[in-house]
Structure 1
Amino acid sequence: MDRLDALKTIAAQASRGELAFPANVEASIRLQQALQDPDCHADLATRLIQADPLLAARTVAIANSVAYNRSGTEISSVRSAVQRLGVRTLQSLVAAVIVRQIGSRQADPALQAKVNLLWQHTAHVAALAMVIARRVTHVDPDTALFAGIVHEVGAFYLLSRAAEFPGILDGEPEEWIGHGEIDIGHAVLDRLMVPEPVMAAIAAMWGGMRALPPENLGDTLLLADDLAPVPSPMHTRPGATTPQAARTIDFAIGEGTFDQVLRESAHEVEALYAVLML
C-alpha cells in the first residue's frame, strides 16, 4: 500500500468512527467527558482525579508549579489542587494527558522522536495561545490553552498508526494536509468531544491565514503557531511564518506593542510550557 492509499485508509476509518486508541486513552476520555458536564463540581472532580494515581500526582505537581502557585504556598492534597486549578484548567490538563497518551505507544525510536518534537511544539503553541488570548485578542484564555493542546491531535494519531503503514511519513508534507489532516483531525477532535468553536478555530489552522492584529481564537492559534520556537515535525501549514521571521512580528496594542507584550509575558509562557512538559 503506497503512502496516499495508507492516508486515505486511516482517514476513511476515522471518518467512520473507527479510531484505534490505547485503553488508557479511553479511560481518560471518560474522565474528560465527566469534567465537561456542567454539573461537575470541585468535589466530584476531586474524586475523579483521585481515581487515577498518576493523574492525581501530576495535578498536585502542576498546582504547585510557578504557573499556578502565585502565592508560593505548597499544597499536598488533590482537593486543594482542584480548588486552586479549577475544573476548566483540569479539562485542559486531562486533554494534555490524552494527546500524549495517543502518541506514547511508539516503539520505533524515529517515530517516538517525532512524537516528542510534536509535543514540544504543541506545548509552546498552547502556552503562547493562552498568553496571547489574555493580553492581546481577549478571547477566553482557558479555551485558547485547551485549543492549543489539541490542535495537533490528528498528527499524534497518525504517528500512533505509522508503524502499521511503513512509509506513510515519507514524501511531501502537503500530502498529509490534503489527504489526511482534515478528516483524521476532525474525527479525533470529535471523539474527544472538542466544542465546535474550538474545532472551527483549529480548522482555520489547516489552511487559514491569520489577521494582524489578531482578532479571534483562530487568529490566536495561528499567531501562536508562527511564534512557537519548535516547529511541527509533521508539516508546515500554508502561509506559515518561520520561527526566525516570526520574531519580527509586531503591531500596536493600545499604549504598547505586541513585542512588549511578549517580553513582559516571557516568564509566564515559560512557566506554562514547563507545566505542559511535566
Structure 2
Amino acid sequence: MSNLVETVSNDIIESLQNDQLTLPSLPEVALKVRDVAEKDDSTINDLTEIIARDAALSARIIRVVNSPLLRAPQEVKDLPMAISRLGMNYTSNLAIGLAMEQMFQATSDMIEKRMRALWQLTGHIASWCSVLAAHTKVLPPDEAMLAGLIHRLGALPILTYAEERDDLIQDNITLGKVIDRLHGPLGTAILEKWEFPVTLSSIPKTYRKLDRSPDSVDYAGLVTLANLIHNRKLDAGWGLKDWETIELFGLFNLPTDREDELYADLAERAEANYSALV
C-alpha cells in the first residue's frame, strides 16, 4: 500500500510541476460576483442582478440570512433585501463560497460519495469558523466562513485524478492517505491560481501546523481551531490533540478545556449554521 501512495503522490506532484494536472476553475457565477465586488463603483443592484441569475444560489443566500448566525430581526423574503442586509463584502464572500459546491461532482459513484462527504466536512468547519469569528470578534465572520470552505480544496484534483484509476477508486485507505499528504500544497496552488489573497491562499498548507505561533490572529489559525473544536469528542486524529500545547487557543482567547460549556453553546449555533450552508 505504501508503494502505491508514493507512486500516486509522485505522479500527481510531477503533473502539477509540469502544468499537466487539471486544477478546478472558480465557477462562473463566483467570478462575476468577485468582479462586481472589487469594483469601486459597483452597487448592491449590480450584485443582485448577477446573483439573481442563479435561483438556487439566491435561495441559499436568503436561507443563510435567516439563519441563527445573522439573527435577522424580521424574516428576509427576497434577494435584494438579503443583500442589503448583508452588504457587498459579506454577500460576495458568501456567494463565492456557496458557488464552490458546483465543483464537488464526479462521474464515479464512489468518488461522488467522497466529494459529498468532503463538501459536508468543509461545511461543518466553515460553520464553526463563522461562529468562532462572531464570538471572538477578531475576524469578519464572512471571510471566516469562506476560509473554512476552501481549506480542503486541494482534495478535488486528487479525487478527479482518482476517477481515472480503478485501483484508487476501490482503495479508500490509499486514496485517503494521498489526500492527507497532498491536499495542502494543491489547495494553495488552486487558490493562488484564482488570485485569492495570501491570507486565504496559505490556509490549505498551513492549517494543520498546530505548533504555529503567529504574531496576530489569522484565518489559518481559526481554521485550525475550528477543526479541533468540531472534532473534540473523537478518539482519533484531531480529537487526540493536546489543546494545552496549542498556543492558538490563547491567541484567540478560547479555553483549552474541551469540556468547557462555551463549546456546547457554540455547537448549537454551528449546527444551525451548517444546516443553512449545506
TM-score (norm: length of structure 2): 0.76
The 1:227–1:68 alpha-carbon spacing in structure 2 relative to 1, beyond 3 Å, is same
2:239 counterpart of 1:242: yes
Distance in 2 separating the partners of 1:75 and 1:115: 31
RMSD, aligned α-carbons: 3.7
Q: CA deviation at 1:120?
A: 2.0
Q: Tell me the distance in 2 between the aligned counterparts of 1:204 and 1:20.
A: 20
Contact 2:129/2:226 (<8 A) preserved: yes
- What SS class does the counterpart of residue 22 from structure 2 fall into? coil
Runs of 5+ in structure 1 lacking a partner?
A: none
Higher normalized contact order (CA 8 Å, seq sep 6+, divided by chain length): 1
- Residues 139-178 of structure 1: pairs in structure 2 closer than 5 A: 139-168=139-168, 170-171=173-174, 173-178=176-181
Alpha-carbon shift at residue 177 of structure 1 (Å) = 4.1
TM-superposed CA distance for 1:26, in Å, is 3.7
Quick one: distance in 1 between partners of 2:30 and 2:252?
A: 41
Q: 1:172 to 1:242 in 2, by over 3 A?
A: farther
- Partner amino acid, structure 2, of 1:241: W
Contact 1:147 1:198 in 2 (8 A): yes
Q: Deviations for 1:160-191, whole angstroms, at most 9, x for unmatched residues?
A: 3321233345527454444x324421222123
Distance, in Å, in 1 between the alignment partners of 2:87 and 2:273 is: 16
- How is 1:11-160 mapped onto 2 (pairs within 5 angstroms)? 11-15=13-17, 16=19, 19=22, 21=24, 26-39=27-40, 40-76=42-78, 78-104=79-105, 106-136=106-136, 138-160=138-160
Secondary structure of residue in 1 paired with 2:116: helix
Structure 2 gaps of 5+ residues are none
> Cα offset for 1:149?
0.9
Distance 1:210-1:268 versus aligned 2 partners, 3 A rule: farther
Number of residue equivalences: 262
Q: 1:70 to 1:94 in 2, by over 3 A?
A: closer
Question: Residue deviations 1:181-225, cap 9 Å, x none?
Answer: 24421222123332111122332124443569x943322111111
Distance 1:157 1:103, change over 3 A: farther
User: % of aligned pairs identical?
Assistant: 19
Please tell me whether residue 187 in structure 1 is matched to residue 189 in structure 2. yes
Q: Decide whether aligned partners of structure 1 residues 140 and 74 sit closer, same or farther in structure 2, where only a CA change above 3 A counts.
A: closer
Provide Cα deviations, 1:113-141, integer angstroms capped at 9, x if missing partner. Answer: 22222222211111111222232372333
Residues 158/99 of structure 1: CA separation in 2 closer, same or farther (3 Å cut): farther
Work out the CA distance in 2 between the residues paired with 1:53 and 1:92. Answer: 17
